[in-house]
């Protein structure tokens, strides 16, 4: 019988998370080349994933969406009046799922972008949406 201890599972999970963070840093560097200096991307991704986990997000897709938002809206969201609503939304326990809270933040960001662009004729779509 194969016995896997919790410590082994934790080590595997940490290795998978590190690999994901490396991949995410590469993707963000390619997709948003002017957002963060290439040598700062690993630190940025680590901080974004740590913040996402603090908001109880627990899957790679949510980490990716959260990091993309954090590129434009710097962390921590509690530091600036413009982003405090995002922090409050991520803690809103009336919405039971942390992922649903993140999707509400994305929807609100898209709505705010559409309102801001209404007079300019631009069409804005947040890349991490949906």
Q: How far apart are CA 72 and CA 122, in angstroms?
A: 18
Q: How far apart are CA 21 and CA 49, in angstroms?
A: 8
Residue whose tokens read 């986990």: 53
pLDDT of residue 90: 97
Q: Model pTM greater than 0.85?
A: no
State the distance between the two ends of the chain, measured CA to CA, in whole angstroms.
42
Which tens digits make up the pLDDT trace of 1-36? 677 788 988 899 899 999 999 999 999 999 999 999
Q: How confident is the model at residue 129 (pLDDT cuts 50, 70, 90)?
A: low
Within 8 A by CB and 6+ apart from 57, the residues are: 63, 66, 98, 99, 102
């Amino acid at each position: 019988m194969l016995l896997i201890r919790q410590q082994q599972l934790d080590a595997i999970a940490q290795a998978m998370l590190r690999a994901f963070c490396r991949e995410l840093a590469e993707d963000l560097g390619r997709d948003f080349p002017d957002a963060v200096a290439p040598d700062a991307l690993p630190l940025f991704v680590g901080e974004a994933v740590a913040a996402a986990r603090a908001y109880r997000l627990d899957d790679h897709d949510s980490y990716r969406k959260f990091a993309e938002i954090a590129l434009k809206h710097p962390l921590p969201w509690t530091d600036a009046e413009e982003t405090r609503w995002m922090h409050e939304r991520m803690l809103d326990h009336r919405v039971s799922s942390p992922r649903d809270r993140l999707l509400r933040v994305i929807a609100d960001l898209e709505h705010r972008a559409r309102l801001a662009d209404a007079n300019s004729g631009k069409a804005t779509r947040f890349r991490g949406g949906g």
